[in-house]
Amino acid sequence: MSKIWVSLPQISPVQDSIAFAANLEREGKKVIRLNQGAEETVPTQGALAELRQYSGSFDKGYNKAPGGDAKARENAAWFLNRFLGYGIDPENTFIVMTNGRNGLHHAFHMAAFDQISAKLEGRSDLSPCVVLPELCWPMVMDAVRENYITETQSFEMVRDGTADAVRTAVAQRITDPLHFAALYTNFPNNPLGLTGSSSDLRDTNQVLDQLNVVNMHNGLPKTVHIVDNPYFGGLSQRGKRAKTILRSPYDGMRDNGTITPHIYNTSLAKAFALATPGAHIMSFSDSKMAEKYAGSYGKSRNLLSYDPAAIAAIGGMLSPANENLIREHFEFLNAKYTRNFEAFSKHLGKDLLPADPGMVVTTEIPEECLGKSIKCSDGVTREIKSGHDYSEYLGNETGVIGVDQSISRPSGLSWPLMRWALKAEDVSLVEEGAERISKANERLANAPSI
């Protein structure tokens, strides 16, 4: 192994891990990618190949006609309804070229649009508040801050306990002089990798419906449910629609006739496990909100794609005619993620947060691995104090690349976490990487404390 120590950049969690891997390889070190930032294997012909071709060729040109070709919007709505169970109208559906951070920015902006405008213009002192999981990705908080939202209320994300957790969180702040602009959920694309059940999310909707009855009585805007980027995870759920749908946790969520407006931000790259630029579908359950998005915010921010050929191609990829191809690919992902998850868990199960089989898993950095002084392969003794140090140590000493996802909790305490993408085609690579991480942890645990 090279004696040159490669430093981990500090750009953004995913970008710095990709740059880190490239720098390690440049120094001749073996790198094990599990695979953050790697492309998925997809059929070489047909719809998925078209998605890759067009989502990779987008430039920053955008259109003035929301969603482009009408048939593309119909197909996008069919896809969301068929595979995610949304129950939305094509008129409220837009194919957009944006990344996840901007997609969230759109959603929070629209959810708190009226309150933010009134406060900035001095027409109201009412502060918008958003209800968020206690653990959520840093970009979520960035999107909140970008929209002048300073009030947040956290809830603990647990499997099949979202409704009770949200009810408790709202009750804690209900007497404050604020308005709950939105609830944000993201199953299974969350730091814990948890998938909620459809029944629990329907119960969560009922909690919001009860809140919105009060909002309407008081002449306040409705609280919006922001559904972030629900891709398919392990695809392990089955139920009443098993013959017609690959179950999403949000399938059937609106079956109870909810009065709560919804904003859905769906990444096609995530759904199909393609490492390509952001082709997203933004959709709304509320037609007035969709009209406002398309008529003012979407145009002013130039975020609706202008390339009719690209829109048509994506719409064609999402066509009902390609249902079997889409289903086949999702089943392939299901089998691969489940296999890789089991291999990873064999060596790191005790550190793994209670995730469901999916593309991304999270481990807690063992307490005994931090605050240590260890002699590394280059002969230099280094101090491992933080998630950043730990990630840098693993990359240099084992070649395994993960993402430092350490999070500061609302209580002020830090939770040191690592995120791993289990996209590798070869399961032996996942097992080798997990075994190397486990052995590196043992070395750190036995090293002297600082």
* In a shared domain, residues 268 and 362: no
* In a shared domain, residues 185 and 277: yes
Is the pLDDT confidence value at 328 over 80? no
Going by pLDDT thresholds of 50, 70 and 90, the confidence category of residue 35 is low
Going by pLDDT thresholds of 50, 70 and 90, the confidence category of residue 274 is low
241 is a domain residue:
yes
- List the CATH number of the domain containing 274: 3.40.640.10
Nearest to 49 by CA among 279, 274, 321: 274
Residue 27 domain boundaries:
13-40+332-445
Going by pLDDT thresholds of 50, 70 and 90, the confidence category of residue 414 is confident
- List the CATH number of the domain containing 413: 3.90.1150.10
45 is a domain residue:
no
How many domains, in total, are found in the chain?
2
Query: From CA 115, how far away is CA 102, in angstroms rounded?
Result: 20
Higher pLDDT, 153 or 197: 153
- Look at the alpha carbons of 153, 154, 155, 157 in this order and tell me if their dihedral is positive or negative: positive
- Give pLDDT, residue 60: 31
Going by pLDDT thresholds of 50, 70 and 90, the confidence category of residue 38 is very low
Whether a cis peptide bond, with omega within 30° of 0, leads into 188 is yes
Query: From CA 283, how far away is CA 262, in angstroms rounded?
Result: 8
- Give pLDDT, residue 67: 40
199 is a domain residue:
yes
Asked whether the beta carbons of 300 and 121 are under 8 A apart, the reply is no
Q: Which of 262, 296, 318 is the last residue of a domain?
A: 318
Residue range 315-339: mean pLDDT, rounded? 78
Is the pLDDT confidence value at 58 over 60? no
Residue range 4-29: mean pLDDT, rounded? 86
Going by pLDDT thresholds of 50, 70 and 90, the confidence category of residue 304 is low
50 is a domain residue:
no
425 is a domain residue:
yes
Query: From CA 135, how far away is CA 361, in angstroms rounded?
Result: 14
Residue range 230-257: mean pLDDT, rounded? 57
Direct distance between the N- and C-terminal alpha carbons of the chain, in angstroms, rounded to an integer: 26
Q: Percent of the chain scored above 90 by pLDDT?
A: 27
158 is a domain residue:
yes
* In a shared domain, residues 337 and 312: no
Q: Which of 318, 341, 374 is the last residue of a domain?
A: 318
* In a shared domain, residues 247 and 394: no
DSSP letters for 87-133: ---GGGEEEEE--HHHHHHHHHHHHTHHHHHHHHTTS--PEEEEEEE
Element (H, E) at 427: helix 427-446
**Best-predicted range by mean pLDDT among 50-59, 333-342, 393-402?**
393-402
Residue range 29-53: mean pLDDT, rounded? 58
Over the chain, what is the mean pLDDT?
Answer: 79
Q: Which of 318, 353, 381 is the last residue of a domain?
A: 318
325 is a domain residue:
no
Going by pLDDT thresholds of 50, 70 and 90, the confidence category of residue 308 is low
For residues 45, 50, 52, 58, the Cα torsion angle rounded to the nearest 10 degrees is: 160
- Give pLDDT, residue 392: 94
* In a shared domain, residues 289 and 339: no
162 is a domain residue:
yes
- Give pLDDT, residue 74: 87
Where b means 16+ CB within 10 Å and e means fewer, 326-354 reads beebbeebbebbbebbebbbebbeebbbe
* In a shared domain, residues 89 and 32: no
Per-residue model confidence as pLDDT tens digits over 101-112? 777 888 898 888
Is the pLDDT confidence value at 55 over 50? no
* In a shared domain, residues 261 and 406: no
Structure tokens at 48: 């998925």
Residue range 136-160: mean pLDDT, rounded? 84
The SS3 of residue 265 is: strand
* In a shared domain, residues 342 and 282: no
**Strand 372-375 relative to strand 381-384, pairing:** antiparallel
* In a shared domain, residues 295 and 150: yes
- Give pLDDT, residue 409: 60
* In a shared domain, residues 189 and 135: yes
* In a shared domain, residues 266 and 171: yes
* In a shared domain, residues 304 and 374: no
Query: From CA 127, how far away is CA 147, in angstroms rounded?
Result: 12
Higher pLDDT, 384 or 3: 384
DSSP letters for 299-352: HHTT-BB--HHHHHHHHHHTSGGGHHHHHHHHHHHHHHHHHHHHHHHHHHTTTB
